[in-house]
Amino acid sequence: MSNELETQIEDDLLKDKVSNFFKKNKIIVYVLVLLLIVLPISSQIFFFYNNKKQEKLISKYIEADILIDNNDIKGVEILNIIKDEGNDTIKLLSISKLNEYYINNNQKNKALELLKDSKDFDNNMFKELLNIKKIILNFDDISEEEILAISRNKKKDNFKLLKTKLLYDFYIKSNQLDKAKQIQIKFK
């Protein structure tokens, strides 16, 4: 009987402790429970809507691509809208397609202007790719210092072969054959 009485007293004490804890910390407990329920649900909703937005931009890009291939100016308008929205990949695709359109329509200045205006990429590789495109578009008017600045940047070594090839072609174009041979030997 004493064991039962002790057990009952311990149970009652435990119930009182739990009850007192909840009374003192009622707000904190409710907030924690609410956070454990609301936070995962709200994050899933956020990711869902973000993915839907990206899907919508991709479908707009595909629509613009088809329109441009059919020589419809509406495709250029759509690409100009989506180049400022979405993630870096969609932006880069839009800028590249616009550049291709401008180059094919003999509007090199518009293509260069577009590349100069597009600098807000989070990914350094995209920034580097745009710099390489600028060099290619402006290859006839570029100076040796500009090409060397990009090709000798040790931090950004993603397109080493392409940069070396551009430098080699520049030296061949400017009739600096000794420097071109040095580049060719260094790269082999």
Helix axes of 2-24 and 26-69: crossing angle, nearest 10 degrees: 50
The pTM assigned to this predicted structure is: 0.64
Of 122, 120, 135, residue with least CA distance to 168: 135
- Position 59 scores a pLDDT of 93
- Position 40 scores a pLDDT of 92
* Residues 116, 3: Cα–Cα separation, whole Å: 84
Instruction: Please report, as a single letter, which amino acid is at residue 5.
Output: L
* Residues 118, 137: Cα–Cα separation, whole Å: 15
Of 110, 57, 111, 44, residue with least CA distance to 83: 57
* Residues 93, 78: Cα–Cα separation, whole Å: 12
- Position 118 scores a pLDDT of 74
pLDDT tens digits, residue range 95-150? 889 888 888 888 888 888 887 777 666 667 777 777 788 888 778 888 888 777 77
Tokens found for residue 58:
């991709």
- Position 122 scores a pLDDT of 67
* Residues 133, 112: Cα–Cα separation, whole Å: 9
- Position 180 scores a pLDDT of 80
CB 76 within 8 A of CB 66: no
**Segments of the chain scoring below 70 in pLDDT:** 1-2, 119-123, 153-157, 187-188
* Residues 162, 170: Cα–Cα separation, whole Å: 12
- Position 42 scores a pLDDT of 93
